[in-house]
A and B are shown apart, each in its own frame.
Chain A
Amino acid sequence: MARVFTPKVVTANALLEGDVIYQTATGWTGDLAEAEVLTDEADADLRLIEAAQQTGHVVGAYLMDVDLSTESPQPAHFREAFRARGPSNYIHGKQEVARNV
């Protein structure tokens, strides 16, 4: 019996800015809602390899678990929730950008 594959998104930090980014079908985004959700394990592994090869743009690519129970993918773990939002002591990071939009 095949084990259940938790949906994934490829994430990394941008080389120049250092900020958290997510892989899309065609490139990278800072917004998790726009990320490409990978539901097939072999596909996810392949996309991660492709991401890791883009050393001129990204650092430390890895697969993160996402929860698809709502409209857009949500981080499955609290660490990813902090990465997606920013620190809790100041409105800095992604939450600062979101506020300024």
Chain B
Amino acid sequence: MYSYTDFDAAFLKERNAQFRAQVERRIDGSLTEDEFKPLRLMNGLYLQLHAYMLRVAIPYGTLNSRQMHKLADIADKWDKGYGHFTTRQNIQYNWPKLRDVPDMLDALAEVDMHAIQTSGNTIRNVTADHFAGAAADEIADPRPVAELIRQWSTDHPEFQFLPRKFKVAVTGSPNDRAVTRAHDIGLRMVTRDGEAGFEVIVGGGLGRTPMIGKVIREFLPRADLLPYLEAIVSVYNLLGRRDNKYKARIKITVHENGLDDFRARVEERFALIRPQFTGVDQQMLSAIEAEFAPPVFRDAPVTAFEDARRHYPAFRSWADTNLTEHRAAGYAIVTVSLKAHGATPGDATSAQMRLMADLAKRYGHDELRISHEQNVILPHVHKSDLPSVYSALAAAGLGTANVGLISDIIACPGMDYCALATARSIPIAQEIATRFEELKLEHDIGPLKIKISGCINACGHHHVGHIGILGLDRAGVENYQITLGGDSTEDAAIGTRAGPGFSAEDIIPAIERLVRAYLELRSEPAETFLQTYRRLGLEPFKAALYPEARANAA
């Protein structure tokens, strides 16, 4: 894992001191709110419905146990004893007081963390595959590149006032777990004739105008990465619209100018600035790569795992859903579900954070990851340790065996917290999970991704959910629209709206009708919801959602 250099530590110390002084000047009246707001947003501090909210970056979702412990300590000392992990691999504290925030930032700096560029029209936290460095299907660990991009983009003088926010995701695997096609820039590691490089995707995004990203460069040599990124963002910075907030994202810039025109401008800019990158960035990358050297995996028997799997049904169920194949023999990737049935998706108490940190330290080579699906990953656990890990997790309410299933729901904070929301998301997620737990159907239903957003900005990724739910305000009442057939993977697709929305009371039964229809329609138990949808299209699901319409037409 990357550790801060003296330069990083000094930079952060200075930034935190600046912000402390800015907070003091706001409180003593020297700064107005209009003057202070852009300063606090640059440091991740929002003012939400009920309180301030501090969004802390977890670069490419990677944490060590010391950092996780610090997040828990901050939750206890300055918040309400919990944190909310987000769809961009960040953590949010929902209840800080303005005066305490400088102390919170200093505490974060003690463990090489910050909240810089988690808001504002800047390059945001760079996200990556949460199984990076562990997945069996990976070409290379994307995190060194993500760290290089973090260093390049942090406080980049040219990119502090972009037309709009800018999000970058990187994956090192052909199976895209980082939603690269729904980012302003998505990077997929590829090889060509034995040479490592990137497929560069640009102009993806969800929100008001969802778009799947377009390939601007099929193969970019590794050494060209930073100048090429700089060229893209630089072109966008000048060409992107500043007259209309809703047309300011790069997806609109690419759409309005056309990919070919945009690409030509990028290539021209790239040719101009490429000579300025003399190789220092590649030296830095080499140094960063050394810090991400894989752990020394041990060779040990896995009989304890196999015995436990044979004898304990609860363990078997958890192992079947929450483990992913590791690239090292005898190891597994553990996904710890933060989606206990009826709980708030993505929330962890300080006690749970500490437990996960301790398990990572003891059994997991001191590594944790946060996934964009709002779960926590222990990326390197030897299978012989899994029974112990499971027992400890289960005792802390973290043993839910539902990863990838209907109750493993992504949900934004919605109108329970967010000032932008038009409806609540969390209670809908809680009720769906609780309902399908009552029905004991979720393992039979199999892989199914429900994603819920409480407004059109789509933080809950509803467009790419197999079932997407969008909460809106319709004439002063919460109303929920369903989209079907979305996909966040390498086969990314935007879901199709099924029809009129449902009230908060009617949305849960509607989802149940939809899922029961799938169980009737699937050709065999192995055919997933998404496969059935792709085979049959919208109509049979629409009929299940709106039985009265079918009755009226008959």
Binding site for B on A (CB under 8 A): 13, 15-20, 55-56, 59-60, 76-79, 82-83, 86-90, 92-94
Are B424 and A88 touching (Cβ within 8 A)? yes
Are B47 and A60 touching (Cβ within 8 A)? yes
> What are 8 pairs between A and B in contact, CB < 8 Å?
A15-B98, A17-B51, A17-B98, A18-B47, A18-B97, A59-B33, A60-B47, A89-B416
B57 to chain A, nearest CB (A): 21
Chain B, interface residues (CB within 8 Å), range: 20 to 34
Residue of B49, B98, B344, B477 with most chain A CB atoms under a 10 A cut-off = B49
What chain B residues lie within 8 Å of A89 (beta carbons)? 344, 347, 416, 426-427, 430
Contact A16:B99 (CB < 8 A) given known A82-B416, A88-B416, A93-B50: yes
What chain B residues lie within 8 Å of A19 (beta carbons)? 50-51
Counting CB contacts under 8 A, is B76 at the interface? no
Counting CB contacts under 8 A, is B199 at the interface? no
How distant is the Cα of A54 from the Cα of B49 in the complex, in angstroms? 19
How distant is the Cα of A86 from the Cα of B94 in the complex, in angstroms? 12
What chain B residues lie within 8 Å of A86 (beta carbons)? 50
How distant is the Cα of A87 from the Cα of B95 in the complex, in angstroms? 12
Counting CB contacts under 8 A, is B376 at the interface? no
Are A17 and B97 touching (Cβ within 8 A)? yes
User: Shortest 9 CB-CB distances between A and B: which pairs?
Assistant: A87-B416, A18-B51, A18-B52, A93-B50, A89-B344, A89-B426, A56-B29, A16-B98, A88-B427
Query: Of B32, B47, B347, B473, which contacts A55 at CB under 8 A?
Result: B32
Which residues of B, 69-123, contact A by the 8 Å Cβ criterion? 80, 94-99
How distant is the Cα of A78 from the Cα of B97 in the complex, in angstroms? 25
What chain B residues lie within 8 Å of A93 (beta carbons)? 50-51
Kindly report which residue of chain B lies nearest to residue A52, judged by CB atoms.
Answer: B33
How distant is the Cα of A87 from the Cα of B419 in the complex, in angstroms? 12
Binding site for A on B (CB under 8 A): 26-27, 29, 32-33, 47-52, 80, 94-99, 344, 347, 415-417, 424, 426-427, 430, 473, 476-478
Kindly report which residue of chain B lies nearest to residue A81, judged by CB atoms.
Answer: B415
How distant is the Cα of A56 from the Cα of B32 in the complex, in angstroms? 8
B100 to chain A, nearest CB (A): 10
What chain B residues lie within 8 Å of A56 (beta carbons)? 29
How distant is the Cα of A93 from the Cα of B51 in the complex, in angstroms? 8
How distant is the Cα of A59 from the Cα of B26 in the complex, in angstroms? 11
Are A59 and B47 touching (Cβ within 8 A)? yes
Are B415 and A18 touching (Cβ within 8 A)? no
Are A87 and B50 touching (Cβ within 8 A)? yes
What chain B residues lie within 8 Å of A82 (beta carbons)? 49, 415-416, 424
Kindly report which residue of chain A lies nearest to residue B430, judged by CB atoms.
Answer: A89
Contact A16:B27 (CB < 8 A) given known A88-B424, A93-B50: yes
Are B51 and A55 touching (Cβ within 8 A)? no
How distant is the Cα of A79 from the Cα of B471 in the complex, in angstroms? 13
What chain A residues lie within 8 Å of B49 (beta carbons)? 20, 79, 82-83
Contact A55:B417 (CB < 8 A) given known A18-B47, A18-B98: no
How distant is the Cα of A79 from the Cα of B50 in the complex, in angstroms? 11
How distant is the Cα of A13 from the Cα of B49 in the complex, in angstroms? 8
Are B50 and A20 touching (Cβ within 8 A)? yes
